[in-house]
Structure 1
Amino acid sequence: MASSSLAKSITKFRPCFSLSGHSSTPLPSSSSSFSSAAVVSSTPDTNSSSLSQPQQKQRESRLSKWLLFLPGALTFGLGTWQIFRRQEKIAMLDYRRKRLLMEPVNINNLLSLEDKLDDLEFRRVICKGVFDEKKSIYVGPRSRSISGVTENGHYVITPLMPVPGLPDSVQSPVLVNRGWAPRTWKEKALEVNQQGSEQSSHTVPSLVQEGERSSWWKFWSKKTESLENEITPITPVEVIGVIRTSEKPSIFVPANDPDSRQWFYVDVPAIARSSGLPEDTFYVEDINENVNPSDPYPIPKDVNTLIRSSVMPQDHLNYTLTWYSLSAAVTFMAFKRLRQKTSRR
């Protein structure tokens, strides 16, 4: 009886022990619920990341495909641009050729068209006057091939001055590019000009000293003889040339230095200012073919050089074929690369 009553009392107090005791049975259920919730909550993130990665790969593959064809498109565009450049060059050379076939006119008839100087370029003109050698300007260095030997030199630009009393003479000064001369010719010309200026400066003092030493009539006779020797008849020069404008130098050509008289390219307004002439002075390139064999320098320009260019139409055609062939080769390589990628997959 005692044992049965003890068993009943234990069964009565068992719920109390289960509620108040530190039992671990309910904890696993709560932890399992939390872990399951975490798993459930993490499953959408993994699904979203798994969906975004293929999209990124597709975008990258598309971009890589376009980049493979980009060099072919660029080279194709360059080849097409060379075709347009060829057409422009053909039109430009035809324009020059037609202008040079026209009969030369007196430059005095074109003075009223100074505002349209660009329209007058490559027009053949006739100029008559006297060269002012002391104001010559040398543009260079410019090389020239003579019998297979390249020699350095300069272009000689000299003002052509009017001749009083000559009806066909130029009415205003004209800058004339007389042609090419070697460097040694330039040095000799500068020495002659310096000696001439020194002799002219010492002429009057020598005459005064002669007058002081001799009698009046003797001095007068010597003075008149010296004046007769100094006065030389003016012989006008006829220049057949072509109206031109200033050159457009490349980025590799140095800038002109008028103070030190160093000219690397033709700048007509600057050369005119340096020579004491108006900036709108006409600039003419001599193309006269009648050259004196005993004194050939400066050598006038050849007319055929005026209808030439550094890049001729045939060169543009060669460039076009080169760019198109390069475009075809690069595009073929791009297709081949894409086929390799698809076969690997």
Structure 2
Amino acid sequence: MQRRFKALQLISLKERAGQEHQQKQGRSSAYGWVLLVPAAIAGFLGCWQVNRRQWKQELLQRRTAALQAEPVDILQAVDVPEEYTRVTCRGELQHDKSVFLGPRPRTVMGTSTPGYVVITPLRAPDWGRAVLVARGWAPAEWRDDASLRQRSEPAGEVQVTGVVRGSENRSSFVPDNQPERGAWYWIDVPALAHACGLPSDTPLVEVMTAEPAEPARSAVPTSMDVLAMRTSVPHVEEQYPLAKPAADLLQFSVMPDDHRNYALIWFSLAGITLPLALRAVKQRRVPR
């Protein structure tokens, strides 16, 4: 009788151990399936970064080719050229209809200065076709002081060379333009043309200062570099409006090399989590 009781007790312990083992296998398998989700997400994001890198490289190539091409006369063109095409135009700037878009602060050596982007209509010599010219950045006091503006408001016929630009993509943080108050916060080309008394299909030409350079990320200057620049570079009086360098059109907040680095990070995470997930899932199938 006692032997029988011990045998039953031993069987009960084995059954309990088997149940506990099955429960552990179930938990391990569930843990493995859970790990498959972040592994799949990391792999997807890595592939997305690779595609973004390729897309941005092609975009840079197209922009570089467009900026290096010979400019076309936009006032003589039948259709408006594509964005970033180099164009030229000759006519008279209508300074009395200039629009100040902003505020657009300008930061130099850690110092931020409030200002605006100056957009002025330009009409052909025969007063036929016209374009909007984004002449560049000017400080806030330049907008409010007519005597300062007169120094940089050429009279008569001028020739402008720049690139075709389109409307900006307004974020949710940027307020709506208020043309009736003369308050412009983002570039809406048709609305700006209408406010200047021009047709809504009037193109916008942005003035550029130099030939385009190869896209490259410059190193962030140290405090000693900034101090050396302030003490060694002589002061040069700037002429407003300040046109944008052509090289700025070849710069993005996220460059192709950044997309490559992000892709490596995501693929590394996928490579770490995927083997752990597969191992946890297969543990349920391993016999004891």
Q: CA RMSD in A?
A: 3.4
Question: Which of 134, 144, 165 lines up with 2:96 in the alignment?
Answer: 134
Tell whether the 8 Å contact from 1:127 to 1:239 is kept in structure 2 after alignment: yes
Question: Which of 113, 122, 125 lines up with 1:160 in the alignment?
Answer: 122
Tell whether the 8 Å contact from 2:25 to 2:284 is kept in structure 1 after alignment: no
Tell whether the 8 Å contact from 2:166 to 2:204 is kept in structure 1 after alignment: yes
Of structures 1 and 2, the one scoring higher in RCO (CA 8 A, sep 6+) is 2
1:327 aligned residue: 270
Q: 1:79 to 1:192 in 2, by over 3 A?
A: closer
**Structure 2 matches for 1:1-345, cutoff 5 A?**
63-110=30-77, 112-114=78-80, 117=81, 120-164=82-126, 171-189=128-146, 235-289=156-210, 296-331=239-274, 334=277
Question: What is the alpha-carbon distance in structure 1 between the residues aligned to residue 45 and residue 155 of structure 2?
Answer: 58
TM-score relative to the length of structure 2: 0.72
Question: What is the alpha-carbon distance in structure 2 between the residues aligned to residue 295 and residue 171 of structure 1?
Answer: 33
Q: Deviations over 1:8-67 (max 9, x none)?
A: xxxxxxxxxxxxxxxxxxxxxxxxxxxxxxxxxxxxxxxxxxxxxxx9998887554322
Q: 1:323 to 1:250 in 2, by over 3 A?
A: farther
Tell whether the 8 Å contact from 1:240 to 1:288 is kept in structure 2 after alignment: no
Q: Deviations over 1:280-333 (max 9, x none)?
A: 00110011459xx65611001101011222221011112112212222333355
Q: 1:289 to 1:92 in 2, by over 3 A?
A: closer
Tell whether the 8 Å contact from 1:241 to 1:286 is kept in structure 2 after alignment: yes
Q: Deviations over 1:250-278 (max 9, x none)?
A: 33322222222222211100111111111
Question: What is the alpha-carbon distance in structure 1 between the residues aligned to residue 71 and residue 185 of structure 2?
Answer: 30
Tell whether the 8 Å contact from 1:86 to 1:317 is kept in structure 2 after alignment: yes
Q: Deviations over 1:152-176 (max 9, x none)?
A: 3221111112334xxxxx7412100
Q: 1:294 to 1:163 in 2, by over 3 A?
A: farther
> How many percent identity over aligned positions?
41
SS at structure 2 position matched to 1:138: strand
Q: 1:255 to 1:332 in 2, by over 3 A?
A: farther
Question: What is the alpha-carbon distance in structure 1 between the residues aligned to residue 269 and residue 59 of structure 2?
Answer: 29
**CA-CA distance at 1:140 after TM superposition:** 1.9
What runs of 5+ residues in structure 2 fail to find an aligned partner?
A: 1-21, 212-235
Structure holding more helix per residue: 1
SS at structure 2 position matched to 1:181: strand
**CA-CA distance at 1:185 after TM superposition:** 1.5
Question: What is the alpha-carbon distance in structure 1 between the residues aligned to residue 46 and residue 198 of structure 2?
Answer: 46
Question: What is the alpha-carbon distance in structure 2 between the residues aligned to residue 326 and residue 183 of structure 1?
Answer: 48
What runs of 5+ residues in structure 1 fail to find an aligned partner?
A: 1-54, 165-169, 194-232
Q: 1:238 to 1:174 in 2, by over 3 A?
A: same
Q: Deviations over 1:82-104 (max 9, x none)?
A: 00010000001100100111111
**CA-CA distance at 1:130 after TM superposition:** 1.7
What letter matches 2:273 in structure 1? Answer: V
